[in-house]
Every structure is written in structure tokens, then in C-alpha cells.
Structure 1
Amino acid sequence: MGDRDAFEALYDATSAKLHAVCLSVLRDRPEAEETLQEVYIRVWQSAARYASNGLSPMTWLITIARNRSIDKLRARGSRPVTAPEDAAAMVACSAPSPESATIMAQERRMLDECLSRLAEAQAGAVRAVYLEGVTYADLAAREGLPINTVRSWLRRSLLRLKDCVSQ
């Protein structure tokens, strides 16, 4: 009957199961999500044609999801299907590569060395604002200084750091 609240309740109650059905057939998360969206569009458009002939509504939904997934699988054609155990190997690792880790460690040492060349108060201000996320106002209050003085400290400190890093 076009009731959006009822459709939202249906989605909330069934989307996880239908997504699992799509994913089990397609073995590709983005494609399963796209197929799930198509399933709900089809359900929205053809809900009036649902006939309760002894089957539960969930059976009807699962059938639509499974058939749409199989259609997608057939349409893939020559694209290979990834086995679940191979899919884990295809996920990008979020850890930096050994080369990246080495470069980051060198940059960190260089930054620490350049920060050590600043006066302690200025180095502390730079660390607080740019590494710890302290606001200018909080830093000014903590140091008991006007905010413009803190901004000047930071600006001069960053210029010195820039010179140090570029050498």
C-alpha cells in the first residue's frame, strides 16, 4: 500500500538475512549490497502482488533475493568467483609496509630532533596543539598567556621546524 514506515520496519527486520543470502551466492560484498538494494526495490514495486499461498513472507523475500543473486551471478559471465578463504587474502592490510614504516620512523626521529631544538615552552605548545589536539584557547589558558601570544609562538615555531626539516 506504499506505507514507507511499514517498508522501513520490513527492511530492519529482514535486511541482515537477505544480505547474507545475496553474499552467500555472490561471494562479493559490494555486489551483494547492490543486489540487496535491487531486491528491496523489486519488493517495493511488487508488494501488492504478494499472495499468501501458505508461504511465509520471509520465504518470498528469500526467494527474490536468491533468484536476483543467481541472475547477477550468471550475468557475470567469465568473471571468476572468489572462494571465501581466498577473499580474506584480497582484503588490503591496513598496516604500513616495512618500507613505509621505516620512512615514518625516520620522519618521526627527524621531527623529534627538530622539536628538541626549540625552546621547551614552544616545543610543548607545538606538541599540544598539533599532536594532542589542544585548542589555541585551551593552551593560552593553560600557559596563562594571551591567545595572540600563543599563536605567535606557534607560527614562529612552525617556521623554525620548517627550516629544520628542509635541511
Structure 2
Amino acid sequence: MELRSFSHGYGQITYHIVLVPKYRYKIFYNKRVKKDCESIFHNICTEKGYKIHALEVVDNHVHLFLEFHPSTSLSEVVQYLKGGSSYRLFKLHPELRTRYWGGGLWSSGKFYRSVGNVTADTIKHYIKESQGKPRTEVQSHRLKSRQRRINEV
């Protein structure tokens, strides 16, 4: 995975997302439903401009490893994935409506975790060292300059 350039930024937005059907029913045990679900997620991601790094549909949940534009929120991405896939799966497999008679295929929750090439410790170190001085030196310098201004008055 590489950093990408956007109109006013440079970076990477990648997430591991897990979606679960209501009641954890094993609807993807059916090979046809599983294959259609994979195809639907690929289509949605292509339409919306999301890049799939990995996709795995198992019996009772779906793992997605996605990259998307920074102006798009994670909630918006999940909304498109759940809503679009639910609509299309019900259209292709009307028999699912007998199990999900209320109209909703996915559970209301989601799992997500941001994924990147650096660790939290690396970022903390970078922030601490980014000014070239340890934080305590910067604070003591600010205090001294504030004291000078007070003494000048």
C-alpha cells in the first residue's frame, strides 16, 4: 500500500471492516449467495471509488480491507456497503426475505479498525521529536518568554 496524493493532502485511509448479517445467520454458506455477495461488494466499491485490498466472505460475516478518499467518512462507506449490498442481494435472492422479513439484512453494528504502515509508538515518537526539541524544553522556553513580557510591563 502506498501513500496517495489528493487535491489538498497526501496520505492513506484504509480500514478493516467486518459486517455481520442479523442474528448471525449463516447465509453465506450457500455458495451462490456468497459469490453474489462478493460480486456486489466489488461493484459497489468500483462505483464509489473505494479500493479493495482484501475481501473474504465467510459463513456468517464479511471481512473487507478498504481504502477510500479522505473526504468520505467511514459511516458513509459502511452505509453504502450495507444498504447497497442488502438491496441487491434481496433482489437476486428473494428467498432471503423469508428469513429477513423486516427488510434489513445486516446487523446494526459494525467492526472497524484503521490500518496503516506505522505503529502508534512510531507516531508518538514522530510527534514528540517533530519540533526538534523535547516537549519539556519547549514549555520552559515559553514560560521564560512570558516572564520577560511580564517584567517589561
Q: TM > 0.5 between the two? A: no
Q: Which has the larger radius of gyration?
A: 1
**Structure with greater proportional helix content:** 1
More relative contact order in 1 or in 2 (CA 8 Å, sep 6+)? 2
Q: Given the two structures, how large is their TM-score scaled by the length of structure 2?
A: 0.29
